[in-house]
Amino acid sequence: MINITSIHLTGGTQHQHIASMKWRNPETGATGESTRQEMVEWIRDKNGVANVHGSDGSVSRVGVVDAHPPYVRTHADGDWNDNLLALPTY
């Protein structure tokens, strides 16, 4: 499991414009950066679990939206939400 900590947008301001994201593994302390495609493949093909922690203490799971090309977006309580877009950018 990892926590997404920040995002990098290119070409716009919506979820499909997230080009890469930085993350941290809370169990090991390891940090890294993944492209959108790498994160899509890790979640969809390798059953990876990524979360976003909100400033209010909420936790949203990151899921894959099957578009062309696929992209990532947070999902909580049965609804897609904008928690990824609320993260700091780099």
Let me know if residue 89 belongs to a domain. no
Cα separation, 79 vs 65, in Å, equals 12
Cα separation, 36 vs 67, in Å, equals 13
Q: Which residue has the higher pLDDT, 19 or 76?
A: 19
Let me know if residue 86 belongs to a domain. no
Let me know if residue 51 belongs to a domain. yes
Let me know if residue 87 belongs to a domain. no
Let me know if residue 34 belongs to a domain. yes
Q: What pLDDT is recorded for position 55?
A: 85
Let me know if residue 75 belongs to a domain. yes
In total, how many domains does the chain have? 1
Quick one: average pLDDT of 26-55?
96
Beta bridge partners of 33: 22
Beta bridge partners of 8: 20
Let me know if residue 88 belongs to a domain. no
Q: What pLDDT is recorded for position 56?
A: 86
Let me know if residue 76 belongs to a domain. yes
Q: Are 50 and 61 in contact (CB under 8 A)?
A: yes
Tokens 């495609």 identify what position? 37
Chain-centroid distance, C-alpha 44 = 12
pTM of the model: 0.93
pLDDT digits (tens, 9 = 90+) for 70-90: 999 999 888 888 999 999 999
pLDDT digits (tens, 9 = 90+) for 42-78: 999 999 999 999 888 889 999 999 999 999 999 988 8
For residue 53 the two structure tokens come to 């922690």
Range of the domain at 33: 2-81
